[in-house]
Amino acid sequence: MDRFAIFVDAGYFFAAGAYAITSSHVPRRNISLTSDEMRKIRGLFVTALRGRTANQGKL
Give the tens place of pLDDT for each residue, 3-57. 777 777 777 777 787 788 788 887 777 777 788 877 887 788 788 878 765 555 5
* Domain range list for the chain: 10-55
Cα-trace Rg, the chain: 14
Q: What pLDDT was estimated at residue 56?
A: 57
Question: How far apart (Å, rounded) are the C-alpha atoms in residues 27 and 52?
Answer: 31
Question: How far apart (Å, rounded) are the C-alpha atoms in residues 8 and 58?
Answer: 24
Q: What pLDDT was estimated at residue 59?
A: 46
Give the three-class secondary structure for 25.
Answer: coil
Contacts of 29 (CB under 8 A, 6+ apart): 11
